[in-house]
Chain A
Amino acid sequence: MNKREFKSNFRSTLLLRKDPILLIAISLILISLFLFILFPLAKVCIVAFQKDGKYSLVNFKEAFGFWYYRRAFINSVVVGLLTALIGTVVGFIFAYSIVRAKIPGKKFFNIIATIPIVSPPFIGALAIIMLFGRNGFISSVLLRISDANIYGFKGLLLAQVITFFPVSYITLRGVLESISPTLEDAAMDLGGNRFTIFMKVTLPLAIPGIASSILVLFVESLADFGNPMILAGSEFPILSVQAFLEITGMYNLGKGAALAFVLLVPSLSAYILQKYWVSKKQYITVTGKPTASSNKIVSDKARNILFVICILIATLVLLIYASIIYGAFATSWGNDSSLTLKHFIYVFDVGFNSLIDTLIIAGISTPISGVLGMLIAYLIVRKKFLGRKFMGLTSMLSFAVPGTVIGIGYILAFNSSPFYLTGTLIILLLNFIFRYIPVGIQGGVAVLGQIDPSIEEAAEDLGADSSITFRRITLPLMVPAFFSGLIFAFVRSMTAISAAIFLVSANWNLMTVQIMSQVESGRIGAAAAFSVILVLIILISMFIINTILKLKYNTKSSLLSN
């Protein structure tokens, strides 16, 4: 920011004097973003670079002098890269088959590819153990392999690909839809054959989207905690899990922070690369109304091949959910498949409190996070003030920072006065609110882009100050986006684990953490029953919100539509 720009922003900020509510809102948001996003991250960096009160690299030397942690770093990056590549390929195949090849059963495949997004991220891992593990249905019952070992590289990669390919699918579906089919028609008209057209027109136009998908998946995989916690095993260390164990197992904060810092660097770089470079290279070739194309760009043979691949992937996804459901009712998975309700009874005995806690925490944090997200979107899109860019950047930061790092940051930042929050409800709420505002912000920014700014100016012109304009004009228009964001934030809060696992206590526990500990103590049936209940709650809540939306606003949330 140069001097003149600063001066002009400063002038605009001064003008806010006349609008005290807006000024207060901006100040409060800036302070809380600083306190609950930046401060914990700074704390991780400070602790990582400090030993006995002095700045040094000792923590890093100690951590990475140990071969095991060097391996963990390499493993994390390798699994991250492979997940990113394979997940993007799978996502692209799905997106291409649905958008371009028009395979039969588009709706079905679309649902298959979005289900994993609304489930806890470790369901894949749990099911993979149930299918391919020592007592696995496929490995042990069908193939009769005794001592099957799915732990480690293979299992983790499989689990992560299944967990994250939907993210790639959604990105690439958007990209492919934005490539006008008439371009392919034109290429065909000029005499290209189908393969040449795909290689020379479709693929090059999709490249920025593909690059973006790879980077996003890399960030997600590095940040993943649930899958590696369950599946990586001690032979195949993964950085996020090791940082957790270092802190909660060894109480070595310095070393844990150093590991977290190392985890942060590749994530942040990939995120920055994606946001500031790749996303600016996107081609937009559809303008105005979508052109209906009689596109024959995919031959029948190719369509059949794509169809078969999609069926195979869909089968795997269905198998995962089927085994979770079946596992929840089976007496002893892999040994005794007679049906029982004992797991559910056990869950209600042991885990009822965590169920209530989870609902309370998600129920309080989600609406706050949603409103805050809309408010921040409104401020950064429509208002001029000092610190606007700062607000935009920090509030989106949680997208890039692995939950493990945030969790460690919260422990470090809020376990001493003036913020002694360890073990309280507040720390969990704050964490959830500030982790999931980016979802609301993104939705809000997109909707605001479609609302003519003069509508808000008209309200202002008629005498409304910023808070009235926001409450009575902007917010009602943002309602559909608000609820979409709300559903996402709710799903995320219900399924969160990576940061939350650091913050739970005897008083406030979460279902996801309970599921994790059931898996660890080998009670697969109970973990499955827990997961079924969790997914049910999510589906019911989504149904309720969607019904409200439909009845009251005649719109649908975008999550499971099309």
Chain B
Amino acid sequence: MSVKLIDVTKIFKDQDDASKEFKAVDGVNIEIKDGEMVTFLGPSGCGKTTTLRMISGFETPTNGDIYIDGDFVNDIPANKRNSSMVFQSYAIFPHLTVKENIGFGLTLKKNSKDKIAKDVNEIMEIMGLTTLANRQPSQLSGGQQQRVALARAIVNRPKVLLFDEPLSNLDAKLREQMRIEIRRIQKKFGITSIYVTHDQVEAMTVSDRIMIMDKGVIMQIGTPVEVYSQPNNYFVASFIGRANFIPSKVLSKNKNSIELDVKGKKEIYNSYVSALNKNDDVYIVVRPEGLELSKNEKMLFEGKVKSAVYLGSTMEYEIEVDQLDDVIVAISNNPIKEGFFKEGDMINIGFDSKSTHVIKK
């Protein structure tokens, strides 16, 4: 049961001045496969929630087509679409018990009483809610409300399950637990799911694929590994994890590699965005853990340690390099073996071309 978005665009008007427009979503194209879990990730205001709300039917696209399971759904209102949403605020009906909340959708679909009771009990069992069946929502903790919201959505066996920042109101520990639980349930039922979040760790851990958005436009769609190790552009590279950007220039382009000028030296790189041409200004993206540090061995750059923070399993450094505008961030993953550097130390920095990816400047 796939979801397909073709050139979906949403324009909002200013409340006070209708002539001012705001393009919340701009030409989004994506196909979400059956049983897949895709995350829409981006900073607030990037259009991820609006895109989700267009899929659920709460917003109508200004342009473009939305298909669920092959059916064109633009004109179908939210209550007739076979999608279920888990809301950021949970949106538990405050005047109904846990059981009544979960059964709400089923009673609307004119199921028999027995069938409703059976389905509701089954899902409560799976979600660990059985003992809470007759509680009022006001007597539930945040995590329990979250479970009820999820159970209420899943019990309808929707074609697509939509999550709107479902964990943002929970504390850090519970968030981690629920993340795992959501993924478990989603896999168990094999429901096609779309998950909206601004938390990149959440996105990396729950999704098959991630769609990263900024200012209404898709920046990249890819697996967690792809978006981290092969970011499409500067925005993705800096939004997902931390990265160092080393400026460079393309000297020549071969079949499966490019030759760059790094500080006057010619170097071959294999991982790069396809649109590069000769003489393009580029960035070599190196993740902090991809850098090699040494006190004595001569390497590409030399810099002064500005700060050194010991985190137990890792050591984090900020290093000032004369030739570069930004400070370099480096992580040493086994500091006891690799040695400690102090603030003020002069050290050498280098990297293997395998740990890099080249993007357009």
Chain A contact residues, CB within 8 Å of chain B: 2, 4-5, 8, 11-12, 15, 18-19, 452, 454-455, 457-465, 468-469, 473, 476-477
Contacts and interface: CB of A to CB of B under 8 A. Distances in A.
B76 A461 contact: no
A57 to B, nearest CB: 39
B165 to A, nearest CB: 11
A396 B77 CA distance: 30
29 contacts: A2-B19, A5-B18, A8-B13, A15-B77, A18-B77, A19-B77, A454-B91, A455-B94, A457-B87, A458-B85, A458-B91, A458-B93, A458-B152, A459-B93, A461-B56, A461-B57, A461-B79, A461-B83, A461-B153, A462-B79, A462-B105, A462-B108, A462-B152, A462-B156, A463-B108, A465-B77, A465-B79, A468-B108, A477-B94
B80 interface: yes
Contacts of A455: 91-94
A8 B84 CA distance: 26
B95 interface: yes
A63 to B, nearest CB: 43
A11 B74 CA distance: 12
B233 to A, nearest CB: 33
A15 B91 contact: no
B354 interface: no
A353 to B, nearest CB: 42
Contacts of B104: 459, 462, 464
B231 to A, nearest CB: 33
B60 A15 contact: yes
Q: State the main secondary structure of chain B at its contact with A.
A: loop
Nearest to A2: B18
B105 A463 contact: yes
B130 interface: no
Nearest to A466: B79
B91 A452 contact: yes
B265 interface: no
B109 interface: yes
Query: Which of A2, A12, A15, A463 has the most chain B CB atoms closer than 10 A to its own CB?
Result: A463
A497 B47 CA distance: 56
Given A5-B13, A458-B91, A473-B93, 11 more contacts: A4-B18, A18-B77, A455-B91, A455-B93, A458-B92, A458-B149, A461-B83, A462-B153, A463-B108, A464-B104, A465-B77
Interface of B: 13, 18-19, 56-58, 60, 75-80, 83-85, 87-89, 91-95, 104-105, 108-109, 149, 152-153, 156
Nearest to A463: B108
A454 B56 CA distance: 12
Contacts of A459: 93, 104
B89 A460 contact: no
B78 A454 contact: no
B105 to A, nearest CB: 3
Contacts of B88: 454
Contact of A460 (B76, B79, B93): B79
Contacts of B85: 457-458, 461
Nearest to A17: B75
Contacts of A462: 79, 84, 104-105, 108, 152-153, 156
Contacts of B78: 457, 460-461
Contacts of A11: 60
A94 B75 CA distance: 57
Contacts of B76: 18
A463 B80 CA distance: 6
A17 B134 CA distance: 38
A477 B94 CA distance: 8
Contacts of A18: 75-77, 80
A459 B94 CA distance: 12
Nearest to A455: B91
Query: Which of A4, A18, A458 has the most chain B CB atoms closer than 10 A to its own CB?
Result: A458
A458 B95 CA distance: 14
B19 A457 contact: no
A480 to B, nearest CB: 11
A452 to B, nearest CB: 5
Nearest to B56: A461
A454 B87 contact: yes
B13 A4 contact: yes
B87 A458 contact: yes
Query: Which of A4, A457, A462, A464 has the most chain B CB atoms closer than 10 A to its own CB?
Result: A462
Contacts of B109: 463
Contact of A15 (B75, B87, B95, B108): B75
Nearest to B82: A463
A477 B13 CA distance: 31
Nearest to A11: B60
A473 B92 CA distance: 11
A19 B57 CA distance: 14
Nearest to A384: B60
Contacts of B75: 15, 18
Contacts of B79: 19, 460-465, 469
